[in-house]
Structure 1
Amino acid sequence: MNPELMGRRFELQEPYLVGREHVREFARAVFATNPIHTDLAAARAAGYADLVAPPTFTAVLQDRGLQLLLADPMVTFELKNIVHGDQKYEYARPVLAGDQLTTELEVTKVVARGRVNMIQATTVIRDINGETVVTSLATLVIGGEE
């Protein structure tokens, strides 16, 4: 495990446009049955401007940041050797269809312990105005030999 990964930042080059069909498809995939995820009238009746993405929807963006990390030449491990050790989300507001979101992943902790290592990655997702929508903290456990 390369300790120089600590502090590395990875930012998506373009904002991600959250589409209604993206929200609906994700809701179906994770069995989110609340109609605010699939029915525009229900979302608006609940006080939202558009469909509300399920809470774990931002994993899609977090994964894109992780893919940038894995493509970094300093990374010497493979996706097949990673398992999630922990995942936390802190929402400032819900993600809505129509949002344009930017994503930045930062490696905030690197722990090397022989054949089992850990990386903590903080992902900040902001709207087009730069306001934080959600901050995600993930601990990745990396096994196997490098």
Structure 2
Amino acid sequence: MVNPNVQGKKYPATDPYLVGREKIREFAHAVKSTNAMNLDVFAAQAAGYTDVIAPPTFAVVIQERSLATVLNDPEADIDFSRVVHGEQRFIHARPIVAGDELVSELEVASVKSLGAHSMVTFETKIYDVSKELVCTAISTLVVRGDE
């Protein structure tokens, strides 16, 4: 059972992640994006960006770094072998662009018990080096309890 006392706990910012053009292209291919701005620098520049932009779900790459922090926190008591991904949402202030240096800060938004199971919702704010909000990633994990 997840420790309900971690609700509201905030974790420190991750080290900066430098978003690479090829990482964006690889991710775009993996999610089968057909948006030219995810693959072609000239298409992205024609739209006013400095480089290729990431598909909206690329933010999960940044969010995973913060999730690793909470999953390794003994106080949270989350057994990753019992985790099932429940829900994922992204609220973008602007697209992620190749060349961005991003950090993320996670807060445990809620911990709910459902019988033997727990539902834990995380809100991760992703910022650029100017401390401007780029994206808020919200995910819910279901942690299966003992049957």
TM-score range, shorter chain: over 0.9
Q: Supply the distance in 2 between the matched residues of 1:118 and 1:25 (Cα, whole angstroms).
A: 31
Do the aligned partners of residues 13 and 85 (structure 1) sit closer, same or farther apart at CA in structure 2, a change above 3 Å counting? closer
Matched, 1:48 2:43: no
Match of 1:75 in 2: 76
CA RMSD between the two structures: 1.5
Structure 1 match to 2:129: 128
CA distance in 2, matches of 1:91, 1:77: 28
The runs of at least 4 aligned residues of structure 1 exceeding 3 Å deviation read none
Structure 1 portions without partners, runs of 5+: none
SS in 2 for 1:11: coil
**Shift, 1:114, TM fit:** 2.9
Q: Per-residue deviation at 1:140? A: 1.2
Letter in 1 for 2:30: A
> How many Å separate the matches in 2 of 1:145 and 1:76?
14
- Identity over aligned residues, as a percent? 46
SS at match of 1:73: coil
Deviation at 1:144, TM superposition (A): 2.9
Q: 1:41 deviation in Å? A: 0.8
User: Unaligned stretches of 5+ in structure 2?
Assistant: none
TM-score (norm 1): 0.93
Distance (Å, rounded) in 2 between the aligned partners of 1:76 and 1:107: 13
Aligned to 1:37: 38
Does structure 2 conserve the Cα–Cα contact (< 8 Å) formed by 1:36 and 1:43? Answer: yes
Partner of residue 59, structure 1: 60
